[in-house]
Amino acid sequence: MSPEEKPAPVTGAGRKKRLSRELVLSAALALVDAEGLDALTMRRLGQELGRDPMGLYRYAENRAALLDGVSELVLNELSIFPDDPDWQAQLRHIAHDLRRLALRHPNVVPLLVTRPLSTPLGLRPLGTLRPLEQILSLLIDAGFTPADALHVYRAYYGYLYGHILNELQEIIADPDENEALLRLGLHRLPAKDFPRLRALAPVLADYDGAAELDQGINILLSGLAARLSSPDAQTSD
Amino acid sequence: MSPEEKPAPVTGAGRKKRLSRELVLSAALALVDAEGLDALTMRRLGQELGRDPMGLYRYAENRAALLDGVSELVLNELSIFPDDPDWQAQLRHIAHDLRRLALRHPNVVPLLVTRPLSTPLGLRPLGTLRPLEQILSLLIDAGFTPADALHVYRAYYGYLYGHILNELQEIIADPDENEALLRLGLHRLPAKDFPRLRALAPVLADYDGAAELDQGINILLSGLAARLSSPDAQTSD
DNA sequence: ACAACTTCTCTACGATGTAGACTTTACACG
DNA sequence: CGTGTAAAGTCTACATCGTAGAGAAGTTGT
């Protein structure tokens, strides 16, 4: 009988065709989205594609490179218009785009945030650097000096990544259970040591990430915009 | 003979005495600091302590719990004064403290940033939640409503974590090689696609993290302080 | 049809986390 | 001082992981 030959179309892409980098990476992404980072093992991914695990090494040197590929794939979902004349609006737009992207692929966020720490800037996957280049372009066209553009980028992206991490931390599996679970968790905290936190349980429970992001970005952007008008701010260069 | 009994004081703490949680955790931290996260395996840590790896399970349920313990240990190095009447100064102080801490333990930062993503807020190690509680206290005492304090905390910590990630990404092993390596890396980028980034190589090379952090925090704090004076800002509650 | 590829598969090895049984140590109490 | 109990430490064993290396199968150009 041979009960497990060609088990199923799996992703629906093309079950038993020739493999390709995109195919491998998107299967990897699907797996991570569905079952988390730990589920992405060479063997498991091979099985998911109906292929021998060893074959994957044609498309990614090692597991680490595979992970890089996945984050690159996700970042490519981001669309930036570096020619938008309204740079603030564009930055706001990107911020919400990236936020949605993170919510769509929460399990990939650790990769996005962590992998660059072990790879010098110049050696990262190009797809990973494209947003940086495009935002620099946006800012320079808006009138910032290149050096200031870099500073603005850092402040902006810094806050953005920070917000995303914050928001993902406060999300719990099922939004319906959210309040219950949260309270459950908080209940464990000693009342003596964590009075403020415990009192905030209801506020913690309904978190409007988009609004929060908006407010932070607004504060930051209006602060950063001041650099454009008053060039006496020290750039320390 | 018996050439490898009591091999060395290892950390200098107490070579072959009874083990303790602190001992285990600080050995783990030392190992991570010295050789990175991947070097922290049960076997290796056991060997570092001159003990059987299995013994470690008395002090940490699994490897994940061990990692949690390490990040808790690191976060405990942070000192916060929740009674400081000048909340802005205190937040600035904390920011620089945390930054220095991250630079001191760069290999731990991925943990700090990543582990909370897989643990609901209420179930985290208490040491991890203490900064949150203390900053809330600081802000509430400064006159923010509890809900607003939470929002301010999020914006502040979001930016702070983002900055730290940014800064660590741009650091390369040896600061002397920094420029060379950076150029080397950047040189690889196609000039067509990354003109701005390539042109910024020299600026990237000398990065004053403390100054950059300061500027961002200043912008954010002055924006956030506005909430205190004009309570008409929508809190959406 | 044959040769030169590329792609895929198999087998095998060392390392890892950890379960479960066993042995040693430390200490309270008669 | 001897002894029993619980804690701390150790040993062995297993499933699973990443991946090296040899070979089989499939594809393509002539």
Task: Pinpoint the alpha helices (H) of B50-85.
Answer: 63-75
Distance of alpha carbon B63 from alpha carbon B208, whole angstroms: 36
How many angstroms from the chain centroid is the CA of residue A127?
Answer: 13
Long-range Cβ contact pairs of A141-145 (< 8 A, separation 24 or more): A141/A82, A141/A83, A141/A87, A142/A87, A142/A228, A143/A228, A144/A227, A144/A228, A145/A235
Q: What is the pLDDT of residue A186?
A: 83
Do A136 and A37 lie in a common domain? no
Shortest CA distance to A233 belongs to which of A147, A167, A175?
Answer: A147
Residue B148 included in any domain: yes
Distance of alpha carbon A193 from alpha carbon B101, whole angstroms: 24
Do B56 and B81 lie in a common domain? no
Sign, Cα dihedral of A212, A216, A221, A223: positive
Do A32 and A86 lie in a common domain? no
B205 touches chain A (CB under 8 A): no
Best A98, A219, A230 member to test B by mutation, with max B CBs in 10 Å, is A219
CATH number, domain at B154? 1.10.357.10
Domain boundary among B35, B61, B87: B61
Do B153 and B94 lie in a common domain? yes
Which chain A residue shows the shortest CA-CA distance from B136?
Answer: A196
Do A32 and A140 lie in a common domain? no
Q: What is the pLDDT of residue A201?
A: 85
Task: Pinpoint the alpha helices (H) of chain A.
Answer: 21-35, 42-48, 63-75, 87-104, 109-114, 126-141, 146-169, 178-187, 195-199, 201-205, 209-229
**A contact residues 101-130, partner B, Cβ 8 Å cutoff:** 106, 109-110, 113-114, 116-117, 120-123, 126, 129-130
Q: How far is A6 from chain B (nearest CA, A)?
A: 34
Q: How many CB atoms lie within 10 A of CB B28?
A: 24
A66 CA – D29 C1', rounded, Å = 33
Q: What is the pLDDT of residue A185?
A: 78
Q: At what angle do helices B63-75 and B21-35 cross, to 10 degrees?
A: 90
Best A188, A196, A228 member to test B by mutation, with max B CBs in 10 Å, is A196
Residue A157 included in any domain: yes
> Tens-digit pLDDT profile for chain A (237 aa)?
333 333 333 333 334 567 789 899 999 999 999 999 999 999 999 999 989 999 999 999 999 999 999 999 999 999 999 999 999 999 999 999 999 999 999 999 999 999 999 888 888 899 999 999 999 999 999 999 999 999 999 999 999 999 999 999 887 655 566 666 667 678 888 999 999 999 998 888 888 999 999 999 999 999 998 887 765 544 444
> Tens-digit pLDDT profile for chain B (237 aa)?
333 333 333 333 334 567 899 999 999 999 999 999 999 999 999 999 999 999 999 999 999 999 999 999 999 999 999 999 999 999 999 999 999 999 999 999 999 999 999 888 888 899 999 999 999 999 999 999 999 999 999 999 999 999 999 999 887 655 566 666 667 778 888 999 999 999 998 888 888 999 999 999 999 999 998 887 765 544 444
Q: Are B121 and A205 within 8 A, CB to CB?
A: no
Q: What are phi and psi of A9, to 5 degrees?
A: -65, -10
**A contact residues 23-82, partner B, Cβ 8 Å cutoff:** none
Do B116 and B167 lie in a common domain? yes
Residue A119 included in any domain: yes
Whose C1' is closest to the CA of B18: which nucleotide? Answer: D8
Query: What token pair was written down for A204?
Result: 């913690």
**Segment B89-136, tens digit of pLDDT:** 999 999 999 999 999 999 999 999 999 998 888 888 999 999 999 999
Residues of B in contact with A237 (CB under 8 A): 203
Shortest CA distance to B52 belongs to which of B63, B62, B43?
Answer: B43
Residues of B in contact with A133 (CB under 8 A): 193-197
B146 CA – C17 C1', rounded, Å = 43
What is the SS3 string spanning A52-101? Answer: CHHHHHHCCCCHHHHHHHHHHHHHCCCCCCCCCCCHHHHHHHHHHHHHHH
Q: How far is A13 from chain B (nearest CA, A)?
A: 30
Distance of alpha carbon A209 from alpha carbon A175, whole angstroms: 13
Distance of alpha carbon B131 from alpha carbon B90, whole angstroms: 12
Q: What is the pLDDT of residue B42?
A: 97
List Cβ neighbours of B40 (8 Å cut-off, separation of 6 or more). B28, B31, B32, B63, B66, B67, B70
The 3-state DSSP class for residue B4 equals coil
Task: Pinpoint the alpha helices (H) of B19-62.
Answer: 21-35, 42-49
Whose C1' is closest to the CA of A57: which nucleotide? Answer: D19
Q: Which domain holds residue A216?
A: 77-173+207-233
Distance of alpha carbon B237 from alpha carbon B234, whole angstroms: 8
Put simply, the answer to whether B223 touches A224 (Cβ < 8 Å) is no
Do A33 and A119 lie in a common domain? no
Q: What is the DSSP letter of B8?
A: -
Residue A193 included in any domain: no
CATH number, domain at B30? 1.10.10.60
| Overall number of domains in chain B | 2
Distance of alpha carbon B169 from alpha carbon B167, whole angstroms: 5
